[in-house]
């Protein structure tokens, strides 16, 4: 999957990855895709809840070697 922007939030703990993603989503156009990389296992549930609450679309969520990758489509 291809993203328009990348946020590397590896090493940050909850709630920082979500807060940084929220800020970055405000700076990209509607319909653009943000990829977030995180290492906090709690980020899986955090990003699911974040997308439900904000109306952004979680397109994909994967984990490889302890790195979680989230593809979020910006919706308003």
CATH architecture of the domain with residue range 5-73: 2-Layer Sandwich (3.30)
Supply the pLDDT for residue 5: 97
Residue of 12, 14, 24, 32 with catalytic role? 14
Mean pLDDT of 47-74: 97
Active site (annotated) includes residue 51: no
Is the full-model pTM beyond 0.85?
yes
- pLDDT category of residue 55 using cuts at 50, 70 and 90: very high
Where are the chain's structural domains?
Answer: 5-73
d(CA 68, CA 9): 10
Supply the pLDDT for residue 20: 97
User: Residue 36: helix, strand or coil by DSSP?
Assistant: strand
- The upper half-sphere exposure of residue 73, i.e. CA atoms within 13 Å in the direction of its Cβ, equals 8
pLDDT surpasses 80 at 15: yes
Supply the pLDDT for residue 76: 73
Supply the pLDDT for residue 1: 85
19-43: pLDDT as tens digits = 999 999 999 999 999 999 999 999 9
């Amino acid at each position: 999957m291809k993203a328009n922007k990348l946020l590397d939030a590896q090493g940050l703990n909850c709630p920082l990855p979500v807060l940084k993603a929220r800020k970055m989503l405000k700076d990209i156009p509607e319909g653009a895709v943000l990829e977030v990389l995180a290492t906090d296992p709690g980020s899986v549930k955090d990003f699911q809840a974040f997308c439900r609450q904000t109306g952004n679309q979680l397109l994909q969520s994967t984990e490889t070697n302890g790195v979680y990758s989230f593809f979020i489509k910006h919706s308003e």
